[in-house]
Structure 1
């Protein structure tokens, strides 16, 4: 506590934090606790409003289902009317129409997903014995209705709820529904007799499922009452079939136009369904309190979080000035001459207008300008370094040509001294062809196929000079000849192999050149079975290769190639040499896969 008091009293940042706390945190706490009492009422109203919307949706869903059933009754009525107009003689014509009507009614029942359709006709009509959809007027008592129930209703539907109705076994499949809501229609002729009566049955379970799927919490109780106060559907299916007292039903219906009303332990919502049906939704008080507590807890937690965040923001804002200075210092310390960023990237940006700059903004601006100047200088140095490397590369490459030409001219001179004029003439022709092709290829990197052409011309000339004392073979993977390689890479290696590898031990030296893919690299192996290299000389060559030395007095060709292969122009390839005295030598070159485009 003493340290905190000393910090607040003795530092500007401490005083700033105390000021922020007094001006921000205390008002937030005051507002938070003031809104606590209001949140309970808001939570209750929102909960009732949400449940009321769900109840209205349930009422609409049940109403739409009953209207859909009545529309279906119109289609059934049309089919029965058509059947009733067909004379019963001849019998086959009536049976054909009956079969069509029965199939249509079955299709309607399946399409509208109703439980069953029962059609009652006079007992003297033989179709009354069908026993599934078509029944006799005498079977009305099994459905607890009679003809008297339908006198005078005309074409209007009549809805009747019954339970414990006995349907055919093929319909119930052994499970009788707990309750049935039936839409009845009938038709009377001019003499007052009924032509037919039919009922479309939907189950209480179907209507109850609408209630069960419409509320997220099982504590909410909802049930549907008919005009007699009987529960015909409920979330708790055990309530189906119970008849409520007249006083209770009248109390419910008296609040039909109210948003809600309270009982001893519930908040009740009342919605009208269709014409004479009522949907009751009971929300227990403990459920409201439980959800209110959740909201209150959320408010309290949010308040605590807001206060903590506010304090953290205060701490952050109070330290922003020193933080900017520290960040600028870190950037200055980490900026090196060879690691200058491409752009003026700082941890913070100064204001858009220069008149809004403070001292730190001015310092950062000057530092950014300094970085920009250093960046431009570094790019100039880098460009000079690249140009220097290319000049060195061209110099190394140009040094190969005189070395190669000197050896070839020496071979031609030898042929002339031996009076082998035809061979000397052929070598001069090959040499002119060789240099014509070489001069056409002015690029630093050329395709492997062009490099092989140079190497082949050289080996043809040497074979002619050496009386075919060696032969060669070339193996390449498909398509590899289009990748690029440093010009004059293979010829110096082949020259070393021919000049130093031919011996009197072997009748004829064989050179094998293989070029293959190796992951994202290209592997080039030049192998001969010549005289090989002594171990001390081989170690000296390998040291020069690893250190990238160029010595003009010895091993110039292989070291020259190594320096060019390992440059940035060839993207840092490698050269390795292995040899066994008396058995032969292998030079292995590994370069990246580079295409001309």
Structure 2
């Protein structure tokens, strides 16, 4: 199945490529220009829009965090102060005494009035500057109320009715707090109508409950907490209790629409984008009490500036496409016209009317250069057609003379064989042996049909070469061979190692006064055939060695380009190295090691396998 899909995709790709090749240059130019225009504009517009959207989101997030932190600090500070007030009241001696005497049977109207007046002064001193306190009351175990209203509502009917209505629930929450202040809310449809700070008061001797302190908080106080923080981002701020009761909100319409979203916010998310409802939400928690402050804003309102930017980018893109389209059409026509002139001239060109194919040159750009070049080419062709026959006759005559002057190498080989037989007939073995060795080397140099020979054959030619040299140098040259039998039948190009032996003789041993020792080794190391030629000659200086190895490491393209700049083109080691790289690949070749007046080692690295591949080799024993 996958192969079928891949084949179909490849077929469609090839059809599209063929279609592109078949359309005219004019259409190709227009297509390329439109692609070059549209793709950058689309990408620039898209990424600009996305970047702006991301920047606005990040800035809104950062701003909302800062504002939420300020609201959190204000709320915590106020709640802390209210807790301190409630704690002070619960510890007040007058309140404690009133609660402890509540069970007495001697309570009369005068006593109740005196206690009420005394507690009213206590309340007044506690909340003299606390505008956030609406009213407060002390409730005894017998449900006797001592009420104070900060708004001069003397009867305290509202707080009394709520406490009586929710008495069981309030006392239960206060008792569970173990003496700490707790918040209690009177809600309607999940929205807080009245908020209360409640604290249980205990007997100091036996820690039994003796009364209840209830402080009603002015709901306008929460508006004061948000005062000065209203902004476009914060206009939908909402404060929720730990039970998801809505304590205060800034926008009723937005609350009705997104009430479920803000009440179901996951605890682990500080801010997120609700794509389902298209709003941005940020929130934080108070450490005590566990209230949650939430702010949210619709995405269309948050991204209104981005949408404006998007519309401007679209208009800019459309205007740019229109302008660039006009320019592109003009440029394509300007380029196609001279190309068509050139095509027409080439189509009309033939042997009989070459001189009629000239084009008038009206421009000096690249197309004008093509016109000029075409005219020059037409003149040259006209000239060549006129003189072609005379040139062909002259070339043939030169070729015949060259053939007549060539010497057949086999004639030289056969002549050497004749000298060998004559030496044997005249009983001159030295001449016969020398001629025989020379004939063998000449035969190797001339070569046969097979381009590759075994290492065993190559080393046989080396033995013949050393035998010839010993007639000149006598005992001054010694050849030592250390050959792994496994390598003898690996095939290599003919006369690949012999030039290295020749180089060792003429650059190493010949210039040395002592006895020349040449060591020839061949072995297999990690799937590589390593052949080394080591001589004890004069060696090579460090600078020269670095220069030589650098030249040997060149790839073939660099090497052949550099030949024109070389004054002395060596075809010894250099030639062998190039033959190896051309035949086996760039990673194989020759490396030199040497120490001055001690030794020189030529290492040849080849693949350790036989090759049947044929190649072209420059064979020479010159250095």
Shorter-normalised TM range = 0.3 to 0.5
Q: Given the two structures, how large is their TM-score scaled by the length of structure 2?
A: 0.34
TM-score (norm 1): 0.36
